[in-house]
Amino acid sequence: MDFKLNDDRRMLSETLDRFLRDNYTIDKRHEFAASPEGWSRKMWQDFADLGIIGALFSEEQGGFGGDGDDIMVVFEALGRALVVEPFLPTLLAGSVLAEATGEAAALHLEDVISGSKLLALAHGEPGARYTLEHVETKASEDGGTYRLTGYKSVVLGGGDANILVVSARTSGAMDEENGISLFLVDPKAAGLSFRPFGTVDGYAAAEIILDNVEGELIGKKDAAYPLVEAAYARAILAVCCEALGAMEVAKDLTVEYMKTRKQFGVIIGKFQALQHRMADVLIEIEQMRSAVINASGNLNSTRKKREWYASAAKHMAGTIGRQVAEEAIQIHGGMGMTWEYPVGHFSKRLVMVDHLFGDTDHHLARFIELGE
């Protein structure tokens, strides 16, 4: 048992932290989020050059990391700076693409890791809510060519991707695990249309409508569900780490504020009603860190253990995230409500993370089901 990061990970963490401190202030973040694309191509290239994208993939996949610890280090740092560049879609789509293409993974991911191409996974649908097995989009084969028709909702990074990985049903009923397949789709293909939008907390996403769009089957036909689930487990770990980073900053900003803001002639940090709530925040964040370590440490365990710990972490990210977000705003008072002061943006992200990859209730139910 060992709870320390190895030297490589420590270096990765320090490098990324230093880079973000120097280049990614909250004002820069607002600037990137407000730009037409909603994020910065230049920053993305800098991240690629620093090796941050490569850190998310294994050596066989053309990267030099890909373990739970790599995801932890990278996403916690990204969360501390509220980075809006498309790391989550890259990890999610990259993981599923790598698993589906096996030995050819490195070939597919080469341009992604170098920063020249962007990936997105189009899986969720309007009727699916958070269930991964619910796929209505259909793929039909005609003379060796697959054509996809359906609607994919809230696809992270969907509007900017050069390569789309799209799930579609090749057999079975709409909520069956069996019968789901994965396809590579060219975003410029005929019959494909986008409705790109920005999310309430500053990230780029899109609705994608497929009308008889050509796609190239990757991986085994009908058997994509386990790959999708495993990729989501990695994305869940990543977003939980991001939340952990945001929690730490929200807590630190709040404690700082409590030391400077005076009311009734004293700093508000002297009020026990506030002190004890922040002590609870501190304890809960440590619990969140442990939940993340559990999820990371079980990423390569059996499916049941991996998913059980992933669901525990995601449930806790939702409940603890909300608690930290609310206390941070409440203790800042009116200042927490302003756009100008940073803390509210961390709170916003923490609240909205609950809507990614399954919310607290979804993962509570799943945790129970998996534990039976």
Buried b (16+ CB within 10 A) or exposed e, 320-346: bbbbbbbbbbebbeeebeeeeebbbbb
288 binds other proteins (CB under 8 A): yes
Taking the complex as a whole, the smallest distance from the CB of residue 361 to other proteins amounts, in Å, to: 9
269 binds other proteins (CB under 8 A): yes
Task: Kindly report the backbone phi and psi dihedral angles of residue 346, in degrees, each rounded to the nearest multiple of 5, phi listed first.
Answer: -70, -40
Taking the complex as a whole, the smallest distance from the CB of residue 255 to other proteins amounts, in Å, to: 5
307 binds other proteins (CB under 8 A): no
d(CA 178, CA 225): 7
309 binds other proteins (CB under 8 A): yes
276 binds other proteins (CB under 8 A): yes
Query: Which C-beta is closer to other proteins: that of 70 or that of 99?
Result: 70
Among 11, 173, 200, 279, binds other proteins (CB under 8 A): 279
Query: Which C-beta is closer to other proteins: that of 247 or that of 312?
Result: 312
Among 1, 22, 265, 302, binds other proteins (CB under 8 A): 1
d(CA 146, CA 208): 18
Taking the complex as a whole, the smallest distance from the CB of residue 323 to other proteins amounts, in Å, to: 13
Residues binding other proteins: what is the number (CB under 8 A)? 39
Query: Per-residue contact track with other proteins, 40 to 79, x per CB under 8 A?
Result: ----------------------------xx----------
255 binds other proteins (CB under 8 A): yes
Q: Check the CA dihedral 241-242-246-252 and report its sign.
A: positive
CB count within 10 Å of CB 40 equals: 21
The closest alpha carbon to 227, from 170, 172, 171, 165, belongs to 165
Q: CB–CB of 167/135 below 8 Å?
A: yes
328 binds other proteins (CB under 8 A): no
Q: What is the 3-state secondary structure (H, E, C) of 325-344?
A: HHHHHHHHHHHHHCCCCCHH
